[in-house]
Amino acid sequence: MLEAYLKDALVARITAWADDELILAQRLSEWVGHAPILEEDIAIANLAQDELGHTKVWLGLRQELDGADPDRLVYFRDPLEFQNAVLVELPKGDWAFTMVRQYLFDAYENLWLKEATQSAYAPLAEAASRLLKEERFHLKHSSLWVERLGQGTEESHRRAQEALETLFPYVRQLFQPLPGDEALVEAGVVPDLRALEAPYLEEVTAHLVRSGLRPPEGGYVPKSRQEHTEYLWSLLAEMQSVARWDPEAQAW
Amino acid sequence: MVKLKLGYPEDPDYQERLEEFEARIARGEKIEPGDWMPAEYRRQLIRMISQHAHSEWVGMLPEGAWITRAPSLRRKLILLAKVQDEAGHGQYLYHAAETLGITREEMVEALLSGKAKYSNIFNYPTLTWADVGIIGWLVDGMAIKNQTMLAQCSYGPYSRAMVRICAEETFHHKQGKEAVLLYARGSKKQRQMVQDALNRWWWPTLMMAGPHDTDSPHTPLLLRWGIKTKTNDQVRQEFLNEHVPELLEAGLTIPDPDLRYDEKTGNWIHGPIPWDDFWKVIHGEGPMNRHRLMARRRAHEEERWVREALEAYGKRRLAQAAD
């Protein structure tokens, strides 16, 4: 059981995870039907389904805590209420941008989900083990793409390097604690993200360098999950357009 | 690749072999890739299977456009899974066609150059969310009728691909029907939206089965060789008999003032089909023809570098393995 004083903090934490998955799934969905080969149309639709499925898992966990309806949260929150990291909301760019982003995100998810399987809050530990199984496949797929692009042609290398330069600074935002995280970490409910940052950077840097890519130094790092880019509003406007189109609709 | 054994009418043993071939089909045997077959049988199959594969691939576009706008998590997941299935069907079908000695590259080239056809139905736009439901129920409903027939086809690889595809299409059909029925008894705007979608998709759906038998010159040969096992009009009739009562039951209006039930045959009889429209669309003058091909060409051109990178990487790995 979860101590009452941790509830709000856990709701906020879970919402941040759910929003990351949701927004990333939305960006992945934009590729479906437009991938470089038919086999990758299949793969990217699969990735989008998995990430969206994870959104459902997290929001289901939240519903158990505070009763909030997952569809209301997805379709009727305003942009400034979303807690996703900037990394996942950036426009899909080219295939290199999409795959480098996916790799950076998958490596992060694999790392913290592995820790989260040890959570003192059983529903969270169970959800983490379930998700981790799928995330292992995602990481395999995206890390191979990073290698293929990094070591493919001059053009693919240039595109992957450019993508990395834009994306890399944003990974640091993923490890920033939310205001309530400290108490959750202390109670053993969620992993200490700050402690995972160094092993993460070490792991991804090694793979990127092996693939012939150079992680850049510096760059702008958002200060909290309150920060977003101009791209979020239009992403959400599109995503929510049908659900908000008819206020009288009872069900979709 | 399997070595093809093709027969041509000028071959000295053609008549004898053709009789043997047709007798096998009449016995219900499947023709497999290495078996003797008339060159014309191969040509017809390549035409049909590659058109079918292209239809799956192009068909991802009109529905895929709504994944980002699907109005609930559940619908979004269903639509993603459905469009993914279509890509998978395209993949099986390209493989089935490859067994006849044509490459995926050649087929894709024929599509992008505008030489190959794909199902006309995808040259219409999806204007509202309700179109996704109507496509699932009606367009996939018609596709299932056609594909169930093709699952009996005399060519083994095509027939087996169809068996797998039909199983998945049944799920597509079900989710579309479920959505349409929900909106048909939903809010005022939902009801209007779904009726409007039905109005726009009804005739194009009926035309999917192809021209009337009297205007379909290939049909007799295709039937004799078991490539098709039913005529276009038979397939269309099966579709009508299943779907008309259910649409009426849902409280929707079918946009055909001449539609009537024939007590004697138990068939639903449709009014005159607007074939002029069909022929225009098939010859490239439909509302979305240019846009569908543009999307396919754009992905092909703009992402050529990705395929080149894959190839270069593959070669490098092979060379490393050989060292």
User: Which residues in chain A are closer than 8 Å to B312, comparing Cβ atoms?
Assistant: 152-153, 156
CB distance from B67 to chain A under 8 Å?
Answer: yes
Domains of chain A as residue ranges with CATH = 4-215+225-245 (1.20.1260.10)
CB distance from A176 to chain B under 8 Å?
Answer: no
What ipTM, to 2 d.p.? Answer: 0.97
Top pLDDT among B129 and A1 is at: B129
Residue B313 lies in a domain: no
User: Which residues in chain B are closer than 8 Å to A42, comparing Cβ atoms?
Assistant: 84, 87-88, 91
CB distance from A154 to chain B under 8 Å?
Answer: no
Residue B301 lies in a domain: no
Over range B99-119, report the average pLDDT: 96
Over range B217-225, report the average pLDDT: 91
Q: How far is B43 from chain A (nearest CA, A)?
A: 24
The parent domain of residue B267 ranges over 5-287
pLDDT band at B1 (very low <50, low <70, confident <90, very high): low
- What is the chain A residue with the closest CA to B85? A42
Instruction: Name the region of B247 (left: φ>0; alpha: ψ -120 to 50; beta: rest).
Output: alpha
pLDDT, tens only, A4-27: 899 999 999 999 999 999 999 999
pLDDT, tens only, B273-299: 999 999 999 999 999 999 999 999 999
The CATH number assigned to the domain holding B47 equals 1.20.1260.10
Sign of the torsion angle spanned by Cα atoms B137, B142, B143, B148: positive
CB distance from B84 to chain A under 8 Å?
Answer: yes
pLDDT, tens only, B140-172: 999 999 999 999 999 999 999 999 999 999 999
pLDDT at B5 over 70: yes
Q: How far is B105 from chain A (nearest CA, A)?
A: 11
- Average model confidence (pLDDT) for chain B? 96
Residue A141: its pLDDT value, please?
Answer: 98
- Average model confidence (pLDDT) for chain A? 97
Residue A240: its pLDDT value, please?
Answer: 98
Give chain B's domain count: 1
pLDDT at A2 over 90: no
CB distance from B312 to chain A under 8 Å?
Answer: yes
This prediction has a pTM of 0.96
User: Which residues in chain A are closer than 8 Å to B303, comparing Cβ atoms?
Assistant: 35-36, 94-95
Nearest to B60 among A41, A52, A249 (CB): A41
Residue B217: its pLDDT value, please?
Answer: 87
Percent of chain A surpassing pLDDT 90: 98
- What is the chain A residue with the closest CA to B186? A249
Q: How far is A241 from chain B (nearest CA, A)?
A: 6
SS3 per-residue string spanning chain A: CCCHHHHHHHHHHHHHHHHHHHHHHHHHHCCCCCCCCHHHHHHHHHHHHHHHHHHHHHHHHHHHHHCCCHHHHHHHCCHHHCCCCHHHHCCCCCHHHHHHHHHHHHHHHHHHHHHHCCCCCHHHHHHHHHHHHHHHHHHHHHHHHHHHHHHCCHHHHHHHHHHHHHHHHHHHHHCCCCCCHHHHHHCCCCCCHHHHHHHHHHHHHHHHHHCCCCCCCCCCCCCCCCCCCCHHHHHHHHHHHHHHHCCCCCCC
